[in-house]
Amino acid sequence: MSDMTEPQAPEAFPTNTAEDSSQSHSRENEETSAARPTKATRSGQPTIRKKSGPRTGQGKNRSRLNAFKHGIFSKAIVLASESPVEYLSVLAALRGDLRPGGTLEELLVENLAALFWRKRRFFQAETAEISEKILFTQIDSIAKLRAEAEDLSQAASTSGGLLKHLDNPFVVRESIRLFAVLGRQVSTIGITEDSPVLVKLYGRPQDERDKPIRRRIYEDCGKRAWEAEQRGDRSEYAELVQTVIKLIDRDIDGLKDQEKILDAEMLKKGEFKRSAAFIPGPEVSDRLMRYETHLSREIERILNRLERVQRMRGGQRLPPQIDVNVG
């Protein structure tokens, strides 16, 4: 009995060595296959595809701020028509110069960037005010002269005629047009003593003695032409027609000379007005100056406060605090 050996307990989960070996080889093959690159060079070295990043200027401009945290003021300070990238560039530059440490200093630098951004907007507004005045001062002046000429044209017959208002270039141009119409009428229809064109040019005075000399000459030629036509004297009639046409041509030439003078004066006045427009009027200047002064004081205040906070962080002695808002 002593020679009897104790029976060994059977394995609870007998292993299949052949199957385990095949599974192990299969897993190794899968891992090796997954790790192997899809392409290889002739030398057997695997090729690694690198990301090239943005290639366009616009893409590079955006990507350079990928690692930059947006300031808490960026969404509030940047308008829809402005560039967030430019604002963040200003903020990044200020962070690089001032090197804030801690939340308070970060907020002060962001506040400073917002103030500089608003000052940039102030300069844009000032430029817009000046540009608008330069552009529209002359336009408004021309529009005023044009409206005045229209009013004078409508009341010409009762206000002494257009030729009394030759200081307005638009009146001069209208008078040239009317004389050209009168010349065509004389050439085709004949001379009329009381032509509507003559009434508009010279008016209809209450007293005959107030009629201009040129108007009397036209009427006299018209009367004599009518009498020559009644007598059947075509030669005298044709001669009178030519006389009137020559008078009309002289009047047109004189008006064209006046037009050149007025155009030169308008050009010179326009230059003076444009030069004067470089300085905004008192109301605009006061408003802009108050706004710029406010921004400058706020920038100075934030810079002083940031300096104090940074000195406190570095354990340095603080200088006396200065109130920049005094006065």
The Cα 15–Cα 282 span in angstroms is 100
Q: What is the DSSP string of 78-135?
A: S-TTS-HHHHHHHHHHHHHHH---SHHHHHHHHHHHHHHHHHHHHHHHHHHHHHHHHH
The Cα 217–Cα 194 span in angstroms is 12
The Cα 292–Cα 228 span in angstroms is 81
162 with 212: CB under 8 angstroms? no
Name residues whose C-beta falls within 8 Å of residue 54's C-beta, 6 or more positions apart in sequence.
60, 62, 63
The Cα 91–Cα 95 span in angstroms is 6
- What b/e sequence results for 296-326 when a residue is b if at least 16 CB atoms lie within 10 Å of its CB, and e otherwise? eebbebbeebbeebbeeeeeeeeeeeeeeee
Q: Check residue 208 and report its DSSP letter.
A: G
Which tokens hold the place of 69? Answer: 């945290």
| pLDDT one digit per residue (tens) for the chain, 327 residues | 444 444 444 444 344 444 444 444 444 454 444 445 455 445 555 555 555 556 676 665 555 444 344 467 777 889 999 998 999 999 999 999 999 998 999 999 999 999 999 999 999 999 998 888 888 888 888 899 999 999 999 998 888 899 999 999 999 999 999 999 999 988 888 877 678 888 899 888 776 777 788 888 888 888 888 888 889 898 998 999 899 999 999 999 999 999 999 999 988 988 888 888 888 888 888 999 999 999 999 999 999 999 999 998 888 877 666 665 555
Residues counted in the chain: 327
Q: What is the DSSP string of 124-190?
A: HHHHHHHHHHHHHHHHHHHHHHHHHHHHHHHTTTTTT-GGG-TTSHHHHHHHHHHHHHHHHHHHHT-
Q: What is the model's pTM?
A: 0.56
The Cα 189–Cα 223 span in angstroms is 14
115 with 138: CB under 8 angstroms? no
Determine the residue type at 277: A
The Cα 306–Cα 291 span in angstroms is 23
